[in-house]
Amino acid sequence: MGNVVIKLGINEITEMKKYYSKQLLEKNPPGSVFSAKTPGCVITAYNSGKVLFQGNDSEKEAGRWGSVASSAMTAAASKTKKVPTSAKGDLPPGISQMSAIGSDEVGTGDFFGPITVVAAYVKKEHIPLLKELGVRDSKDLNDDKIIAIAKVIKDVVPFSLMTLKNDKYNKLQQSGMSQGKMKAILHNQAILNVLEKIAPEQPEAILIDQFVQSSTYFQHLKGQKAVAKEKVCFSTKAEGIHLAVAAASILARYAFVQYIDKLSEAAGFKIPKGAGAQVDVAAAKLIVSKGRDILPSFVKLHFANTDKALALVNKRKF
């Protein structure tokens, strides 16, 4: 079990407390501002500004706050490790308050529907406004809330949406392209589009919600016009690091939900999300009503759900 101590300002600690609001512990140790527990980490923030991370995820969780390790650690904490740069994904210090492009994707794990990738530019002076509008980690928001927020922010932040429709996705997949490569190409293109939109203005940072090691990401982009390596940084759970990624995620989900609505209309019934048993049944229904040939424009064919749906059709069990 690892321990990590970092030192933060009071504003950052207030922000942290908000971030962990659903995971706060009732009992706070003496001298602490709050204590919270995630599945892999206990976080305790002290009045002194020191924040202690304990547990298997301590490095990852501390890296989220991207701050340098305290030079004035207590004797008890002196055995703890500093946050290695790699755990922070090489994030520049203070990135969360910079004018930044963030990008994120939706739909990669859904049997029905496209992959949608959005890159969005959030200027630092827009950060408070976006917070006010409710922009935060989209995993905490339901579809209705996401749609409502997306409708407002789409006119506030410059962004680019890339939609990889099912037909094209299936063709690329069958030609041997990995989903990782597709995503790299889409993220890169969305970011290039936003850079062009905001030019001559330049972002202070570009943050991609990490789906692959950065070396692999650039490997995927070999031979293409790519945003320079030095300008891009990666982090997992980047939605929690910069609001630009949270905004991108909300806009990507909005586009995905809208697309699923279109597919539902074409199918004549409500298309489910995800890759669970309910999508097998829906695909079986679709095959029976429209024929097998309709599938490539609705689903990601290489998912195991395709065979499961066909089995249901053969057994007429749905």
In angstroms, give the least distance from the CB of 105 to Mg ion: 6
Neighbours of 273 (CB within 10 A): 18
Question: Quick one: 61 or 104, whose CB is closer to Mg ion?
Answer: 104
Q: What is the sign, positive or negative, of the torsion defined by CA atoms of 137, 141, 143, 146?
A: negative
Q: Does 104 bind Mg ion (CB under 5 A)?
A: yes
- Examine residue 110 and tell whether it contacts Mg ion (CB under 5 A): no
Residue nearer to Mg ion on the CB measure, 130 or 252? 252
| Bridging pattern class, strands 205-209 and 232-235 | parallel
Question: Looking at the DSSP assignment, which residues form a beta bridge with residue 169?
Answer: none
- In whole angstroms, the minimum distance from the beta carbon of 20 to Mg ion comes to 20
Q: How many C-beta neighbours within 10 Å does residue 150 have?
A: 22
What is the x/- site pattern for Mg ion, positions 192-211, by CB under 5 A?
-----------------x--
Shortest distance (Å) from residue 106 CB to Mg ion: 8
Q: At closest approach, how far in Å is the CB of 194 from Mg ion?
A: 17
Nearer CB in complex with Mg ion: 162/267: 162
Whether the Cβ atoms of residue 217 and residue 227 lie closer than 8 Å to each other:
no
Q: Which strands make up the sheet holding 159-164, listed edge to edge?
A: 159-164, 115-122, 100-106, 205-209, 232-235
User: Which C-beta is closer to Mg ion: that of 88 or that of 183?
Assistant: 183
Rounded Cα gap, residues 297 and 171, in angstroms: 11
**By Cβ distance, which residue is nearest to Mg ion?**
209
**88 and 66 Cβ atoms separated by less than 8 Å:** yes
Q: How many residues bind Mg ion (CB under 5 A)?
A: 2
Among the residue ranges 10-18, 104-112, 179-187, 302-310, the one whose residues contact Mg ion (CB under 5 A): 104-112
Closest CB to Mg ion among residues 12, 61: 61
- Give the separation between CA 156 and CA 123, rounded to whole angstroms: 10
- For Mg ion, the closer CB: 117 or 309: 117
Q: Which is nearer to Mg ion, 150 or 312 (CB)?
A: 150
The two tokens of residue 232 are: 């891009």
Least distance in angstroms from the C-beta of 163 to Mg ion: 16
| Total Cβ atoms within 10 A of residue 180 | 16
Q: Kindly report the number of other CB atoms within 10 A of residue 131's CB atom.
A: 14
The distance of closest approach from Cβ of residue 248 to Mg ion in the complex, given in angstroms and rounded to an integer, is 9
In this chain, which stretch among 99-107, 145-153, 168-176, 224-232 interacts with Mg ion, using CB under 5 A?
Answer: 99-107
- What is the spatial distance between Cα 271 and Cα 114, in angstroms, rounded to a whole number? 13
Class of residue 159 by CB neighbours under 10 A (exposed 0-12, middle 13-18, buried 19+) = buried
Stretch in the footprint of Mg ion (CB under 5 A) among 15-23, 96-104, 149-157, 275-283: 96-104
Which 209-228 residues touch Mg ion, going by CB under 5 A?
209
Q: How far is the CB of 119 from Mg ion (least distance, A)?
A: 12
Between 61 and 209, CB nearer to Mg ion:
209
What's at 151, amino acid-wise?
A: K
Shortest Å, Cβ 88 to Mg ion: 17
The rounded distance, in Å, linking the Cα atoms of 51 and 191 is 34
Hey, what are 125's tokens? 């002076």
Binding-site ranges for Mg ion (CB under 5 A): 104, 209
